[in-house]
Amino acid sequence: MMNLAININALIPEIIIATSAMLVLLLGLFVKDKNNHLIYGVSQITLLLAAMLVAHSGFGPTYRVFNDMHIIDPAGNFLKLLSFIATSFVFLYSRSYLRKKQLLNGEYFSLTLFALLGIMLMISGANLLMIYLGLELLSLSLYALIALNRDNLDATEAAMKYFVLGALASGLMLYGMSMIYGLTGSLDLQVIATHLAEMNLDPSIMAFGLVFIVVGIAFKFGAVPFQMWVPDIYHGAALPMTMMISSMPKFASVALAARLLFQGLEPLAVDWQQMLLIMAILSMILGNITAIAQDNIKRMLAYSTISHVGFMFFGMMSGTINGLSSTFFYVACYALMTLAAFGAIITLSQKNKDFDQLNDYKGLSQRNPMMALMIMIIMLSLAGIPPTIGFYAKFSVLQSAIEVGMVWPAVIAVLMALIGMFYYLRIIKLMYFDSPSSLQKIHFSGDLLFILGINSFSLILLGLSPKLLMSLAALAVGLSF
């Protein structure tokens, strides 16, 4: 009974999220609330409660529950807290937009919370089976969310593409996991690492298993050459869904890579480091160069995401604790930046008009100077220009690569970052130096402008003092890996 109580107590945040996901679904069916204030309130309170519980355990000791299948550690708590913050921002930004599109219902909140539950299971997975269950829960929730607007052909097509490619990637990862299980006889990551280090196992089967697992990880990140789904899904999905896909699942992807590569497959580090290096460089090259040719801002940000994934891989490919902590720091900064970027697009988008073409931003500084200023800060941060937090994110991962002697890949990364500045600065040029198609002033609701202001100006505030977030990431990783 004592063990059961400990197990249940460790899973209270997940239980709260799961219960709330089912509750808001029922509330959406039975409670007549035109603007869904109740469902929205319940969802936000749920996130606050879960965040408080996770923060309470904070940087406490690492322990495992449910026969060592679920791990509670500082790194997991750090990523979970970031996931709660990102989900809360997604709800804040998307509420008015979805209400205009008549998509603000119980299903949206329920599926988002189920996606968050999948992220939490992946973050705390200490067992191949638990990680895969979390991955499937997240994936299925995202497929349904993308297709939530059933009358939109682009959204339905995007969901179908994501489903087919996602199922293929999940199958490949599962096949790799089955090979590792066949070799080691265990699903537990600790036991797998021990067996791989101590036993004389068949190297060809190990290599095949590792390749399939890395392919699955690369697909979830959207790294080259498994990036084909990213621009189509970003473009086809509704803006709030695109915002969610670009931010929340990245925490799960980082956790997936950290658990599998740094904990379970650490003895094979020499092999997976080479694979991550190749994918990191290719992602930065293809992402930055292809983004230049885009005239749709959602597709531009999709290719931008691919280049940012290359930088995340840079931190992990070093194979060191410093490298992994720099990736944790980078994903936190990236989520904050991408939430602000899509938050600005959602804020600008009217009922029958999405600001998703680059030409829509011409002369924005004359129509709404404050919005133009905030978008400029966001673009400078995404480009990695000081004193924004984006600069320190890139600097930290490059520093971790140079520390292990990877100088020439770091030089390529810097060159690609310089190329990437072009398409970010182009938006600033359109806003401040081009003539607007209309001189009519653009007005927004005060609450959205306030949220976006906090989000965008935090990019400069954190950039002026990056040490706090950097130290938290380093402490979380150092105590867990």
Structure tokens at 75: 């790194």
Beta pairing partners, 64 = 71
Per-residue pLDDT at 350 = 67
Per-residue pLDDT at 31 = 77
Structure tokens at 340: 């602000």
Quick check: 105 and 43 in contact, CB under 8 A? Answer: no
- Angle of CA points 192, 170, 11, to nearest 5°: 65
* CB-based contacts of 256, cutoff 8 Å, min separation 6: 122, 131, 135, 217, 220
User: Which residue's structure tokens are 């990736």?
Assistant: 327
In the chain, the amino acid numbered 48 is L
* pTM confidence score: 0.94
Per-residue pLDDT at 53 = 92
Q: Which helix (H) or strand (E) holds 318?
A: none
Find the helix packing angle between 153-184 and 189-198, rounded to 10°: 50
Q: Which helix (H) or strand (E) holds 12?
A: helix 12-30
Q: What does R_g of the chain's alpha carbons equal in angstroms?
A: 22
- Return d(Cα 129, Cα 187) in angstroms, integer: 7
For the chain (481 residues), the mean pLDDT of every run of 10, in chain order, is: 75 93 89 79 93 88 87 92 94 88 85 94 92 93 89 87 90 91 89 84 82 91 87 89 91 92 87 91 93 91 93 88 92 94 87 79 87 92 91 92 88 91 92 82 79 91 90 90 82
- Return d(Cα 58, Cα 385) in angstroms, integer: 32
Find the helix packing angle between 106-123 and 12-30, rounded to 10°: 170
- Return d(Cα 473, Cα 325) in angstroms, integer: 6
Instruction: Tell which residue, 243, 224, 219, has the closest CA to residue 297.
Output: 243
Per-residue pLDDT at 365 = 87
Per-residue pLDDT at 16 = 94
Structure tokens at 183: 């070799």
Quick check: 257 and 305 in contact, CB under 8 A? Answer: no
Per-residue pLDDT at 434 = 83
- Return d(Cα 264, Cα 187) in angstroms, integer: 9
- Return d(Cα 457, Cα 467) in angstroms, integer: 17
